[in-house]
Structure 1
Amino acid sequence: MDVEQHMEDVDSGFVQPPMQSKNGAPQKKRIHELDWFRALMVILVVYAHISRSGMRGGVHGNIEVDDRIYNLTDPSSMGVRWISEVRQYCLPLLFFVSGAASACSWKQSPGGLVKILLYTLFGVALNSVLWLLGPQNPKCDPGTGYGRPECQGLLFDFTICPDSGRIFPLVFQMWYTAMLMALMLLNWPLFAFLRNGTCHLAILGLQVIASVGLESAFVVLAGSEISNPALIIGIMVVCEVVFLGLAVLTMPQYRPSRIPLRFIHYCLGAVTTVQFGCVPYAPVIEHISGAFVVFILTGFNKSFQLGFVLTVARLPNQEEALPIVSMYWPMMVILRTMTAPSSNWYAAGNLTYPYYPRVLDRADYVAGAVIFMFVVDRVGRAIECQALPSWLANGALLLYLIHPWLMALLILAVRGSMLEDTGSVWSLCLVASALLGYLTTRPWRLWRCRRHASKATFESTSSCDSDGSSQEESHGSA
């Protein structure tokens, strides 16, 4: 298993269209920082899952003042940092990276849908077995389940996904791949239009109808939680039309020459901030509900679309997005300060992404995430990034798929020891996934290099370094 194939398996690949190497042979180039960010976001998401499992040193309750790093009773330095920094950009950036991957690998249709479906079914099956081996009681967490008769299951006396009902533990982390498939299909017309012109401009109207229809379905399911559904649906229609209209303007044949491409990108970011952060879906959201689903569906879809649109301008034979605000980059100090989130813990609906009751707080929070995505995009254009090591790529993939099992087994293994806390279990999960990544990578890479070395054309097209990794990426995802 190599990094190109495995990172493709999670969603679309990152390989750009063929380019010419120095000797004239076709060569495919990856945007390596996207591989890095996807792996890193998975690592950070796993910490969030462990921190909410009920273990010591985790993130508990709905509201907590920022004294965790000084509180000797239940300290959690990493918890404070996750809440105050990572939560703001983690999942939006993960969907942004997935949209960027689609831009790089797009042909006539979204690639990798079948593989993503198989991974989703496999992950749900693993989660289901884990749930059946436990007490199947949402109130039994690792911190309180030990010794309680009602929490004794076939193998475990706890669930790693407490207080989340009886359905979500089966889905758990795989909701991301399920939503990713939906977004790939939902945005097919826009992506086909922007990437290779195979979709007529008028077909984008169907995407508006499909997008608003899906969002409206959850608005209806929310019932009385959304007090003014007609207003919400109306705002959705306006935002979708404006966003798609601006996306069309990223193509030079539809945009006045005096308007820079990057300005249109900024306008897309502004619409994302409004639709994700300013729409009054509900006065408050306290749990997973129809209002919460439409909130994250809308926001993560916009992050996904931004990733695609911004990355198209990085591909060969595409118009380059020249810098505007980036020419005054010291201003980032002010922008980051103004959009930095509070370090106090407020669940605000769900750990996935907070829904603050005040519009200004939501807008400020989302704006910080959008700015982060633009910074990632601009830095990637200016600084060369080295390839993600194969063992880390494979380890991140395996960590995503099996970390619920790793969590459960490690919680049992460290019970009663000094390692029985959130940070230790997280660290051990990373070590285990890195080891698995290494074991599934090195034998395969060595075999691959020996196989290619026997071919006369091998030396002129690629070479292998000491750990068996290819220095020239001569193949990749579809």
Structure 2
Amino acid sequence: MVVLVVYAHISRSGVPGGVQDKISPDDRIYTDKNPSPFAVRWISEVRQYCLPLLFYVSGAASACSFKQAPSGFGKIAVYTFLGVALNGVLWVMGPQNPECDPGSCHLRPECKGAVFDFTISPWSGKLFPILFQMWYCVMLIALMLINWPLFAYLHKKSCHAAILILQLVLTGALVSAFVVLAGEEIEQPLLVASLKVACEGAFLATAMLARPEHRPSWLPLRFVHYLLGLLMFLAFGCTPIAPRIESISPSFILYIFTGFNKAFQLGFIITLSRLPGWEEALPIVSIYWPMLVILRTVTAPSTSWFAGGNLTYPYYPRLADRALYAAGAVVVMFVVDRVGRHVNCNALPESLANMALLLYLLHPWIMAILIVVTRGTPLEDAGSLWLLALAVGWVLGLCCTIKPRTICRARRDSKSLATCNGDSESSSQEDSVDA
């Protein structure tokens, strides 16, 4: 998912072959004059499931590492601070002008910075380029806090169900705050807030059925998972927040918060049934797996590009389009989970894990340097820059994986080994004998 997100950021930076500032429907980014093969595939497929699946994986990781409280807060906070600081330095070293994109900056005298003559996050204001990719970490911290009651109840049987009321109140307060901040953009604020809170209440009540003592014997665990996926579909794709959302506004944050929070919750709940000692979720729909062809066809995104306000996640003006788009993301999550239950998987190599982390933190800097290095060459293209960025990330990840040998391993003679093991007296006696 990080690899795919990096391409989205490169394609949106204003380089040739990417997704430019003004996007119109149909073939704006794929023409005979300026073909963009990777961009077409991103907007046609990846955008639908990339970020929901990323939050799903984060929820799954929380299920595997959950103790008395959500773990990893300190680590995520450090990463967030480091990433924002690096982005801030990069912003200060550029022209600090949101309109200075790499594609046109060399023709404009006002795009002159201390080091760079462009910003790698153009057309996004003066604050977002500093936050940039780290918004995910900020939202992840918020989701870990908000969902602590649910996770504690499901993971620790000592918690009472009443703790879920706290989560419902917190979520309702957050939803209400975004509705108020959105103002007139939301035409029916009371209806939107009521639907969001009702979906959250139904989700929490259904999640209780994941514990065997609350579920009838005739109700399979996997069917509970399907019900939760249905509620995500309703909350994410079927709530009429606004007729249109054209920018990153409070109403848009409410929209993506709903969907990404549900994906995060789904990842946690579904993964619990994969852990040792927990009830296994036996297949139901997966038994009739050829039906996936129909499900994927019905929920596949349109091949006609519609920006929907931004590249992060589109808000289609028609309810049917939003519903089918959200349903497609849910289908992909369940497919990934079911396949992972039946296919033996190797652990992620440490070099790839380091690559993903470093690529996520450093790719704004990698982008900026590669844009300067490839300027005026055939590699000055979104697809080429993406592949080069992956190569740089792989090298960095590999370098961080290679551990220098200790002195004991480097010097294999017995005297050095004895010294390293603390046997200095016997070593000195051997030395005197040799002398």
Aligned to 2:305: 345
How far is 1:66 from its partner? 3.8
Provide the C-alpha distance between the structure 1 equivalents of 2:276 and 2:104, rounded to a whole number of angstroms: 56
1:207-246 map, 5 Å: 207-246=167-206
Q: Report SS of the residue matched to 1:345.
A: coil
Aligned to 2:276: 316
8 Å CA contact 2:105, 2:111 repeated in 1: yes
8 Å CA contact 1:62, 1:348 repeated in 2: no
8 Å CA contact 2:61, 2:268 repeated in 1: yes
Q: Report SS of the residue matched to 1:436.
A: helix
1:12-411 map, 5 Å: 41-60=1-20, 61-66=22-27, 68=29, 71-411=31-371
User: Match for 1:260: what amino acid?
Assistant: P
Aligned to 2:379: 419
Provide the C-alpha distance between the structure 1 equivalents of 2:332 and 2:368, rounded to a whole number of angstroms: 33
Runs of 4+ in 1 over 4 A off after TM superposition: 446-451
In the superposition, the TM-score normalised over structure 1's length comes to 0.84
Provide the C-alpha distance between the structure 2 equivalents of 1:241 and 1:68, rounded to a whole number of angstroms: 42
Percentage of matched positions with identical amino acids:
61
How many residues were matched structurally?
Answer: 410
8 Å CA contact 2:18, 2:29 repeated in 1: no
Provide the C-alpha distance between the structure 2 equivalents of 1:239 and 1:447, rounded to a whole number of angstroms: 56
Aligned CA-pair RMSD: 1.6
Provide the C-alpha distance between the structure 1 equivalents of 2:403 and 2:388, rounded to a whole number of angstroms: 23
Provide the C-alpha distance between the structure 2 equivalents of 1:440 and 1:315, rounded to a whole number of angstroms: 30
Give the 3 Å change call, closer, same or farther, for CA 450–320 of structure 1 in structure 2: farther
Alignment deviations for residues 287-328 of structure 1 (CA, whole Å, 9 cap, x no partner): 000100000011100000000000001111111101000000
**Structure 1 residue 435 corresponds to structure 2 residue 418:** no
8 Å CA contact 1:219, 1:290 repeated in 2: yes
How far is 1:67 from its partner? 7.2
How far is 1:64 from its partner? 3.5
8 Å CA contact 1:406, 1:429 repeated in 2: yes
Provide the C-alpha distance between the structure 1 equivalents of 2:243 and 2:24, rounded to a whole number of angstroms: 18
Alignment deviations for residues 228-258 of structure 1 (CA, whole Å, 9 cap, x no partner): 1110111012101100001001110001111
How far is 1:215 from its partner? 1.5
Provide the C-alpha distance between the structure 2 equivalents of 1:57 and 1:450, rounded to a whole number of angstroms: 50
Provide the C-alpha distance between the structure 2 equivalents of 1:375 and 1:147, rounded to a whole number of angstroms: 48
How far is 1:113 from its partner? 0.4
Q: Report SS of the residue matched to 2:138.
A: helix
**Structure 1 gap ranges (5+):** 1-40, 454-478
How far is 1:362 from its partner? 0.4
User: Match for 1:314: what amino acid?
Assistant: R
8 Å CA contact 1:108, 1:198 repeated in 2: no
8 Å CA contact 1:265, 1:310 repeated in 2: yes
How far is 1:42 from its partner? 0.2
Aligned to 1:458: none
